[in-house]
Amino acid sequence: ELKVEQNPLFLSMQEGKNYTIYCNYSTTSDRLYWYRQDPGKSLESLFVLLSNGAVKQEGRLMASLDTKARLSTLHITAAVHDLSATYFCAVETGAGSYQLTFGKGTKLSVIP
Amino acid sequence: EAQVTQNPRYLITVTGKKLTVTCSQNMNHEYMSWYRQDPGLGLRQIYYSMNVEVTDKGDVPEGYKVSRKEKRNFPLILESPSPNQTSLYFCASSLYGQDQPQHFGDGTRLSIL
């Protein structure tokens, strides 16, 4: 059974600081997603990571994937208040299955 | 506008009264899926469908049914709802293709009394 663990689950950080959210998973997978959810809202796709060493960046967010370590990171650079949200990673359960197992989410609060 | 539409958005009902949550997408996506979101548990997959007439169980299918008679629609049916099915439900869809993320609906908040 695939397990997906995110760390930390809660993160409070000051504007302008950098931080990293970690997503570990327990079995082999080559496809990993990052989503953002604002309070009371739906999920918005941020990144799709398809292979070992994949790195994607959008604004102040950068995601990477190390399939050998079964680890993905979401790095936040110079945080701003607008980044406050809950971030989920999701891992494909089996190759080509389109089934996703989600982490429990990291609730990020960026304080002015 | 490309979207995934769920109805109703909110529903309060009683134990045992059959209900259906509809999900419709206008993007011609092959893949559709239902998730429930509970505090502290993240999202868990209920059922998914790879195409018309093709459905399969996710991680938490007990107490739910689905059907996929048309490509655009994927209703979630609770034949005899119970309080432990009180949750926030999301429908999602995507194209096939390794780089295609799932697009989520706005969610349906169900309360079963």
Section A40-56 average pLDDT:
90
Which residues on chain B are in Cβ contact (under 8 Å) with A33? 101-102
| Residue of higher predicted confidence among B89 and B94 | B89
Distance CA B85, CA B83 (A): 5
**What confidence tier does A96 reach under pLDDT thresholds 50, 70, 90?**
low
Top pLDDT among A112 and B87 is at B87
Residue B108 has pLDDT above 90, yes or no: yes
Measured between beta carbons, the chain B residues lying within 8 angstroms of A90 are 43
Phi, psi of B13 (to 5 degrees): -145, -175
Residue contact A98–B99, C-beta within 8 A: no
Tokens 């655009």, residue located: B72
CA-closest candidate to residue A42, choices B22, B107, B44: B107
Chain A closest-CA separation from residue B101 CA (Å):
6
Per-residue pLDDT at A6: 96
pLDDT tens across A102-111, in order?
999 999 999 9
Which of A55 and A52 is assigned the larger pLDDT?
A55
pLDDT digits (tens, 9 = 90+) for A59-84: 999 999 999 999 999 999 999 999 99
Of the residues A52, A102, A107, the best mutation for testing chain B's interface (the one with the most B CB atoms within 10 Å of its CB) is A102
Q: Residue type for B95, please?
A: L
User: Average pLDDT for residues B65-92, to the nearest whole number?
Assistant: 97
- A65 touching B, CB under 8 A? no
**A17 and chain B: CB distance < 8 Å anywhere?**
no
Note the pLDDT tens digit of each residue in B9-20. 999 999 999 999
Across the interface, do B42 and A104 touch by the CB < 8 Å criterion? yes
Nearest CA in chain B to A90: B43
Contact status of B106 with chain A (Cβ, < 8 Å): yes
Q: CA-to-CA distance for A54 and B62, rounded, in angstroms? A: 36
| pLDDT tier at B101, thresholds 50, 70, 90 | confident
Q: Mean pLDDT over residues A85-94, rounded?
A: 90
At residue A89's C-alpha, the angle toward residues A87 and B57, to 5°, is 120
Over the stretch B47-59, which tens digit does the pLDDT of each residue have?
999 889 999 998 8
